[in-house]
Structure 1
Amino acid sequence: MQSVVSTRQGRVRGAAEGGITAFKGIPYAAPPFGPDRFRPPRPAEPWDGVREAVAYGPTAPKAPYTPPFDRLIPEVDIPGEDCLNLNVWTPDPGGSLPVMVWLHGGAFTNGSGSVPGYDGSRFARDGVVCVTVNYRLGADGFLHLGDGAPANLGLHDQIAALTWVQDNIAAFGGDPGNVTVFGESAGAMSIGALLAAPSAAGLFRRAVLQSGAAHHTLSPASARLVGRHLADLLGVEPAVEAIAAVPLRALVQAQQHLRAAISAAPDPARWGEAALNLMPFEPVVDGVLLPAPPIEAIAAGAAAGVDLLVGTNSDEFRLFLVPTGVIDHVDEQMLLGGAARYGLDTAAVAEYRAARPGASPGDLLAAIATDWFYRIPAVRLAEARTGLPGATYMYEFAWQPPTFDGRLGACHAAELPFVFDNLHDKAFLGLLGPEPPQELADTVHAAWASFATGGDPGWPAYDPDTRRTMQFGTPSEVLTDPRPRERALWDGLRGPTAGSPSRPSP
């Protein structure tokens, strides 16, 4: 099989194995350091000869996950400045195959496209060219100080990578007219923003949003609050030039402390929307790359012709409460206070309780937070597409691993190795246990590949009357309007125009 292909910057040599050729660490933009720090990405410099593309390239600077998540969520840290790179897996460089481009999660401060669990070999095996991307994280990717420096550089990176795919993927056997962008958590939230970004129009035909939709953004005012707190932690002026002069190690550690500070004291007056989102760095509705909040732009017709597959896991928020033990320390007062911050009253909490006999206050808070963070935004995204061109499909991943005495549930990130059909990757052992069901991976992975290939994952499209949703489990089945009473509690909340209960004005 051909292992050398020509890109617009130069030739690259990949490694072939088992009928699949992998090309790793290909730069899609210049290193974002030196004079290019805190600036939009520019094209990578051309090279002479053949560039070896057999090993993952550098990853964006970041701090490690904090315990216990460092044992549950796979992470890779590869030093180097040439971190705007991507990886390609192809079964046939001479073909014209569907393309899937992966945007990783990690709360906009962690993760990379170089995690072995995101190896795209199984997609390539099934006739799909798979691409995984590294993009700038934390302050380098999402800082906004209102000082004239461009915002949303991480999104600009993603757009640059998708542009690279349009320009080069045919050389790897991919069809640039049949590109699906897919992502999880922050990656899915990025896609929700890209759907609303005029500069991303035409770069992809389909999108898959896993555990993230189009609600997690910051207003410029909130972003400036976060930026000033970061500068205070670093002991510098709130200006890009001052933050750029801080050593990277100190910067990524400060980013980690910033997120901990928000979680410890989530005061909207201090943090704006980040007090509820619990992420200091997110896409900013800057009026340039994002002219309007993404969910509002989508409801108004942005990306109307793009086919969507959107969904969540049944017990997303238990990842953040069970391994830490916090779930056992939530009392009734904390439950009611947390629900009120999300806009729900005591009657709504009683509705959740009635559906879960014997549930503890921590269990109920996990269910409510799962809906606020993940499920309801996904529903709102599907609803926003009603009457517009482009098909929309919904799913719910419901398989529950045996880890943590079975208390973890179908938590955040649990679907990842099933999507990539990489259950053999031992990095997911702490999350999923030793024997996750291969038959479920076969089902989920096939649905993603089918959607990317022809726009149909294998079940009926979503509509606001039936709200048909594929529930992935053992077995999997199509549900009609899952948990309708709980969904109805959020009417008027988390909508295209409702915003969050404490949303500040710009």
Structure 2
Amino acid sequence: MEDAHASEHAIEDHSRNVPRATTTCGAVVGTAYAGIHRYLGIPYGRAPFGVLRFAAPEPALPWQGDRAATGFGPTAPQSPYRGDLGELIKVPTIEGTDILTVNVWAPADATDLPVVLWLHGGGLERGAATQSGYDGSTFARDGIVFVSANYRLGAEGFSVLDGAPLNLGLRDAQLALEWVHREVAAFGGDPARITIMGESAGGALVAALLAQPAARARVAGAIIQSGPLDAVEPGKARRASDALAKKLKIHATRDGFSAAAPGELLAARSEIAAGASPLGGTPGYTLAVDPESLPASPAEALIDVDVPILIGTNTDEYRLWLTPDAVAGIGRAKAWLARLAMRIPRAAARAVREAYPDASPGERLGQLVTDRLLRGPATRLARARTAPTFVYEFAWESPVRDLRAAHALDIAFAFDLLEDDDALRLNGPGAPAALGREMHAAWVSFIRSGDPGWPAFAQGRATRVLADPSATVSQRRAAVVDALQ
């Protein structure tokens, strides 16, 4: 079936103006524009459905002739974002089963150039490389071979089931990295200079790849944007799967989940999540510690990884997850109960009050959530590592819906795509172009050389505060993070 599907993509145009690359599975033909060659929807793995559903990914099968690489591949099964998030973040849907695909942007004259592999975010259950804000043209423009990859999401990618391997979505990312290492030379990239890069859940996958010895051997550097660094024991990671099984009255086994269509699992997940609070409620999908795919939590494993890391967070991460009304509705009593539930030390709460004397209880709680989940772990890792580690804080404040420097706002700046529709929904039309150019240039510099252009964190907790204007300072609000140790 897959060979037949591939033959449907065969094309006859061999014009010298049409970019063509030969991979170990076969030739692909892309498109060219403004000196950039683009190849979309190249399979790196077989369709993970049918007998391959809830199984470890298998490499793509070869095809005959030239395969058209002119359109994105199908997106992984997922439900759209709901409510306010659904208005801010749009994920295009492309139907089909061949979801394990990569996309490549490369300069027309690329030879032995540095490479970056981008992994999208979305809480491990949403998102796709098809999102317009992930266009790799700006990196290719600046001499980088840019690759993005889709991977399995939600129940299909991160269920914990009896009889099924753990961390299937992570295993997909591992296979995509193997594809990049093996094939990128055909697109003008240097397989010895691969940087892996991701935001949010994508950043978590980047960290997890570094924690896996076989994957780590293929990596020259890593960029982790607002990415959680933890992985939990399988018994804890299976709570989302157990909730689905209970809802559908099936067993939390590979056979039980395989008997349910992807749409059934998505619908049940949506019903479970309906009305849940952002500060608690529905168990989320998470990475599981697993001897085969993730032998240790990245928070510990990355301490000794000898590759440069660029890592950072946004000042107000929580403001994407909590609406202004939700923040305003959190009084002192509710904030106190939430702090108890999250086991946040009194010293941290006191330090937040001192750092934000005019903030409401909801805003202070949001900052504690940001620091507990993201900023604290990133800081602890940066302090513990001896290999070069560069830290940033994205601090520019969006005027849209009082998001301020919320989660995901940094992506458009890193890509220098501030006029893209994805960016405009989050940042509005007046985002500073100079900051986009600065941040993108720093990312490109790191991909090229392992140095973004400011001192490593070990030098006095040096942190680049990306704002308008930016500045390199000793880490701001360090007392809050230290109190969370």
Q: TM-score range by the shorter chain?
A: over 0.9
* Residue of structure 1 equivalent to 2:481: 487
2:467 maps to 1:473: yes
* Residue of structure 2 equivalent to 1:221: 235
Which of 398, 403, 409 is residue 401 of structure 1 equivalent to? 398
* Residue of structure 2 equivalent to 1:293: 297
* Residue of structure 1 equivalent to 2:11: none
Q: CA shift at 1:295, angstroms?
A: 1.7
* Residue of structure 1 equivalent to 2:367: 367
Q: CA shift at 1:351, angstroms?
A: 2.6
* Residue of structure 2 equivalent to 1:165: 180
Cα deviation code 1:119-172 (max 9, x no counterpart):
000000000010111000011111112x23100111110010010011110010
CA–CA separation in structure 2 for the residues paired with 1:77 and 1:114 = 8
* Residue of structure 2 equivalent to 1:182: 197
Q: Secondary structure at the match of 2:238?
A: helix
* Residue of structure 2 equivalent to 1:37: 53
Which of 220, 227, 230 is residue 212 of structure 1 equivalent to? 227
CA–CA separation in structure 2 for the residues paired with 1:86 and 1:391 = 29
Residues 67 and 181 (structure 1), Cα distance of their counterparts in 2 relative to 1, 3 Å cut: same
* Residue of structure 2 equivalent to 1:269: none
Q: Is the Cα contact below 8 Å between 2:376 and 2:484 reproduced in 1? A: yes
Cα deviation code 1:350-398 (max 9, x no counterpart):
331222222111111111111011100111221231x3xx311000100
Residues 279 and 475 (structure 1), Cα distance of their counterparts in 2 relative to 1, 3 Å cut: farther
Residues 258 and 378 (structure 1), Cα distance of their counterparts in 2 relative to 1, 3 Å cut: farther
Matches within 5 A, 1:245-264: 245-260=259-274, 263=277
2:414 maps to 1:419: yes
Which of 406, 418, 428 is residue 433 of structure 1 equivalent to? 428
CA–CA separation in structure 2 for the residues paired with 1:394 and 1:356 = 22
CA–CA separation in structure 2 for the residues paired with 1:479 and 1:28 = 42
Q: CA shift at 1:226, angstroms?
A: 2.7
* Residue of structure 2 equivalent to 1:499: none
* Residue of structure 1 equivalent to 2:122: 106
Which of 458, 461, 464 is residue 456 of structure 2 equivalent to? 461
CA–CA separation in structure 2 for the residues paired with 1:478 and 1:279 = 38
Q: Secondary structure at the match of 2:197?
A: strand
* Residue of structure 2 equivalent to 1:495: none
C-alpha root-mean-square deviation of aligned residues, in Å? 1.7
CA–CA separation in structure 1 for the residues paired with 2:326 and 2:62 = 51
Q: CA shift at 1:258, angstroms?
A: 3.9
List gaps (5 residues or longer) in structure 1.
267-274, 492-506
Runs of 4+ in 1 over 6 A off after TM superposition: none
CA–CA separation in structure 1 for the residues paired with 2:116 and 2:477 = 32
Q: Secondary structure at the match of 2:241?
A: helix
Which of 409, 421, 440 is residue 445 of structure 1 equivalent to? 440
Q: CA shift at 1:429, angstroms?
A: 2.2
CA–CA separation in structure 1 for the residues paired with 2:420 and 2:365 = 32
Give the TM-score of the pair, scaled to structure 2.
0.93
Matches within 5 A, 1:62-461: 62-92=78-108, 94-145=110-161, 147-215=162-230, 217-260=231-274, 263=277, 266=280, 280-299=284-303, 301=304, 304-322=305-323, 325-385=325-385, 387=386, 390-404=387-401, 407-461=402-456
Residues 469 and 265 (structure 1), Cα distance of their counterparts in 2 relative to 1, 3 Å cut: closer
Q: CA shift at 1:19, angstroms?
A: 0.5
Q: Secondary structure at the match of 1:139?
A: helix
Q: CA shift at 1:318, angstroms?
A: 1.1
CA–CA separation in structure 1 for the residues paired with 2:195 and 2:63 = 29
The more displaced of 106-115 and 244-253 is 244-253
| Count, aligned residues | 469
The more displaced of 426-435 and 340-349 is 340-349
Q: Is the Cα contact below 8 Å between 1:212 and 1:377 reproduced in 2? A: no
Cα deviation code 1:392-437 (max 9, x no counterpart):
1000100001112xx3210000001111111111233231111211
CA–CA separation in structure 2 for the residues paired with 1:313 and 1:265 = 18
List gaps (5 residues or longer) in structure 2.
1-16
CA–CA separation in structure 1 for the residues paired with 2:478 and 2:23 = 50
